[in-house]
Amino acid sequence: MEHSNQKNGPASDDRQPLPAGNHALLASEAKYRVLVDNQTDLVVSLDRDGRFQFVSPSYCEKFSCNESELRGTMFNQQVHNRDLDQVNVAWQNLFTDPWTSQFEHRAQTEEGNRWLGWALKALRDDDQNVVEIVGAGRDVTDRHNNEERARVDLNTLAHAGRIQSMGEMATTLAHELNQPLTAILSFSQASQRVLSEQDLDRDELAFALERIAVNAKLAGEIIGQMRSFIRKDEPRAEQSNINALVAEAMELVASELQHHEIDVDLNLTEAIPNVQVDPVQIQQVILNLVRNSMEAMQSQPVDQRRLLIATRICKPGNIEVTVIDSGPGLDPTIAEQLFEAFVTTKPEGMGVGLSICKSLVESHGGRLSAHQSSEGGAVFNFILPSIPEGDEA
C-alpha cells in the first residue's frame, strides 16, 4: 500500500529524494530569499512595461501595502507627478546598451514625501529583447536635502557676491548710463529748438528723435544687463556658448578696463561645443577673475597691463576658459589657500570671490585652478564639461 502510494499519490512524490542539482537550487534560492527579505534597500522585479512582478518586504513596508496588492501595478504609480517625465526618460535607457538606468524621484510613502534613488538593470533574452527589469532603490531623502541646502547656500552666497561686484561697478555704470542720458537730453533740446523754428526741418527732427530712441534703448540695455546680473533667480541650466558668455561679461566691465588702461586680448576658439550652465553664474566667475586681474595689475605701469582671455576645447569632452594677466602673480604666502574663503591680501578684500567661483564651477561639474604664468603674472583657468555633439538641442 505504502509502496503503491509511493508510486501514485502526491504524498509519495514528496518523499522521493530530489536530484542533487535541485537541492543546490533550493538552497541557493533560500539563501537569496533571506538576502532579499532582509534588505533595507527596496528590491524589485518588473516586466518590460514597468509592472511589478516582485517587490521585497522592505518595499511593501515603505509603501505600507502587501506584495499581492502591488503585483501587476505600475512602477510609475508611486512616482510623484512632477518627476514622471524625467523617470520616463530615464526608463528608456533600459532598452539600449548598457541596459541600465539610474534615477531619483519623489514618492508618497508611509513616512511622507521621500526621495527614492533607483539603479535598475534590464535582463534580455538571446535576441536582446528586454524580458525583465530588476534592481534596487533606497531612500536618498537626507542626501537630497543636504544637497538642496548646500545649493541654496551657494546660490545665496553667489548672489551676495554679485551684489558686491555691482557695488564695485556702480561708479563706472553710472558713468556708462550718463552717456546715453546726456545724448537723450541734448537731442530732445535740439528737437524743441527745431519745433520752435518757423521752417520746421522734418529731417532734422526725425534724426533727433531717432537718436533719442537709440540712446534710450542703450540705457535700457545697460540697466537690463545689470538687473539680470544681480537678480536672485533660481539657478537654471541652459545650453550656452562659452564665447558669448565671455563676450557679455567683458561688455559689463568694458568701461572699467578702459579706465584702468588695460589691453584686452580675446582668443576665443570658434566652433566650440556648448555647455549646459547657468549663464549668470558662469559670467559671475569670469567677471570675478577679470576683476581680480584688473586689481592685480593696478600696481603695474600702464603700458604693461595686459589681459588675455582664451577659450579652447580640451579633451575629453571639456572646454577651458583661461584668464592670464600681467600683474605681479600670486602671493606665495596664500598660494595654498587661494580658494578658501576669507583668504585675501587686499586691505579692503573680503577674500570670498575665488571660493564662490570654485563652488560655482564645481556645481557645474567643472574645476577651477590657478598657477603662475611664465612671465610672472597669474593664470586662472576653469574647465566645464561640454555637451557631446549630437546631444545639443
Q: Note the residues at the interface with ligand ADP (CB under 6 A).
A: 292-293, 296, 325, 327, 329-331, 334, 338, 343-346, 349-355, 378
Work out the number of other CB atoms within 10 angstroms of the CB of residue 100.
Answer: 14
Q: Which letter does DSSP use for residue 115 in this model?
A: E
Q: What minimum distance in Å lies between the beta carbon of 357 and ligand ADP?
A: 7
CB of 38 to ligand ADP, least distance (A): 51
Rounded-to-integer distance, Cα 27 and Cα 239, Å: 54
Q: What are phi and psi for residue 94, nearest 5 degrees? A: -70, -15
Cis peptide before 19 (omega within 30 of 0): no
Cell of 13: 512524490
Measured CA to CA, the distance from residue 116 to residue 137 in angstroms comes to: 6
> Residue ranges of the alpha helices (H) in the chain?
2-8, 10-15, 20-37, 57-62, 67-70, 84-92, 141-196, 202-230, 242-259, 279-297, 353-363
State which residue, 43 or 356, has the beta carbon closest to ligand ADP: 356
Cβ-proximal residue to ligand ADP, closest one:
353
Name the residue nearer to ligand ADP (CB basis): 242 or 330: 330
Q: Which is nearer to ligand ADP, 358 or 364 (CB)?
A: 358
Sorted by sequence, the CB contacts under 8 Å of residue 19 that are 6+ apart come out as: none
Name the minimum Å distance from CB 380 to ligand ADP.
6
Q: How far is the CB of 169 from ligand ADP (least distance, A)?
A: 14
CA nearest to 139, candidates 110, 117, 109:
117
145/345 with CB nearer ligand ADP: 345
Residue appearing with cell numbers 577651477: 368
Using an 8 Å Cβ cutoff, are 165 and 291 in contact? yes
As measured in angstroms, the least distance from the Cβ of 153 to ligand ADP is 17
Task: Give the integer Cα–Cα distance in Å for 339 and 356.
Answer: 8
How far apart CA 103 and CA 132 sit, in angstroms, is 18
Closer to ligand ADP by Cβ: residue 98 or 301: 301
Nearer to ligand ADP, 253 or 330 (CB): 330
| Closest separation in Å from C-beta 160 to ligand ADP | 12
User: Measured from the CB atom, is 94 or 158 closer to ligand ADP?
Assistant: 158
CB of 168 to ligand ADP, least distance (A): 10
In this complex, which beta carbon is closest to ligand ADP, that of residue 245 or of residue 290?
Answer: 290
Minimum CB separation of residue 351 from ligand ADP in Å reads 4
**CA atoms of 320 and 336, how far apart (whole Å):** 22
Residue type, 329: G
